[in-house]
């Protein structure tokens, strides 16, 4: 992967930051994209201090014109993109019947439409070059119903099928499109769901009967680097004959289904 160029959204923290770090350690030059410029700058400064080739590109994945301009800027400054990782995501919790219009629209704008805008912009530039690899970070909830997660789960299910359809269409150009579906992973998004800290953490691992959650058979939460390792594998030549695949990284929480 040495000398390749990647664009990673949601790069200011959590799984996105872990992906950027691991790619940088593999010798990839990374365009780190996030809507929060201050947090992004802080993250990139830390990665640069560790000797990694990472540049900050503040941007909003929900705006098609902004995405097109951003991708042009990345390729002008860093060179043609070899890899794309869609890791930007948001979570709005509530029962399906109590979700607001704004909850629903915002969740889909980032988690689904953002994946569409960024993937379209990057893949349209990859097609003439006849190569490229895309990984979308989805969720194990895309295929398993979760209480109070209707908007999030539906948005991730849509992003999952979009990525697979895209992969089918661009395979003839030598471009692969895959997915990684994390379960409960120790990120700010997960902790935002917890109302009582350590008790909620334990419940995530052991399961909650009232919410129809079976827990995590491996008896531990995922770490961002666990997900990042799966992402980087699917981007790499080690996965050169894999496309349209959905790799679940959840410690067995969805029982392999």
Residues annotated as catalytic (active site), given as ranges: 152
> Encoding tokens for residue 95?
């029962």
CA 86-236-87 angle, 5° bins: 15
β-bridge partners, 30: 6, 54
Q: To the nearest 10°, the Cα dihedral for 250, 253, 255, 257?
A: -60
CA 233-237-238 angle, 5° bins: 55
CB-hemisphere CA count at 13 Å for 255? 5
- Report how far Cα 82 is from the mean position of its chain's Cα atoms: 17
Residue 224 near residue 185, CB atoms below 8 Å:
yes
The span from the CA of 174 to the CA of 131, in Å, is: 5
Residue 225 near residue 180, CB atoms below 8 Å:
no
Please tell me whether residue 113 adopts helix, strand or coil conformation: helix
- List Cα–Cα distances, 247 to 140, 157, 178, 192, in angstroms: 9, 14, 8, 25
> Encoding tokens for residue 219?
């008896």
């Amino acid at each position: 992967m040495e000398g390749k160029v990647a664009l990673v959204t949601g790069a200011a923290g959590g799984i996105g930051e872990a992906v950027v770090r691991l790619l940088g350690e593999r010798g990839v030059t990374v365009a780190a994209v996030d809507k929060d410029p201050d947090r992004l700058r802080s993250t990139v400064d830390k990665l640069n201090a560790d000797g990694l080739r990472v540049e900050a590109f503040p941007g909003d994945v929900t705006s098609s014109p902004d995405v097109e301009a951003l991708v042009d800027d990345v390729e002008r400054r860093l060179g043609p993109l070899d890899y794309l990782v869609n890791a930007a995501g948001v979570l709005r919790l509530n029962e399906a019947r109590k979700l607001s219009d704004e909850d629903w629209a915002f969740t889909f704008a980032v988690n689904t439409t953002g994946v569409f805008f960024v993937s379209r912009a990057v893949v349209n530039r990859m097609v003439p070059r006849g190569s490229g690899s895309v990984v979308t970070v989805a969720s194990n909830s895309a295929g398993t119903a979760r209480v109070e997660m209707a908007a999030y789960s539906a948005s991730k299910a849509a992003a999952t099928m979009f990525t697979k359809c895209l992969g089918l269409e661009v395979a003839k150009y030598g471009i692969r499109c895959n997915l990684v579906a994390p379960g409960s992973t120790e990120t700010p998004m997960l902790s935002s769901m917890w109302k009582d800290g350590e008790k909620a953490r334990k419940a995530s691992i052991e399961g909650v009967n009232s919410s129809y959650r079976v827990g995590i058979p491996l008896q531990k939460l995922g770490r961002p680097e666990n997900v990042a390792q799966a992402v980087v594998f699917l981007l790499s030549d080690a996965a050169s004959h894999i496309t349209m695949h959905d790799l679940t990284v959840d410690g067995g929480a969805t029982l392999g289904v």
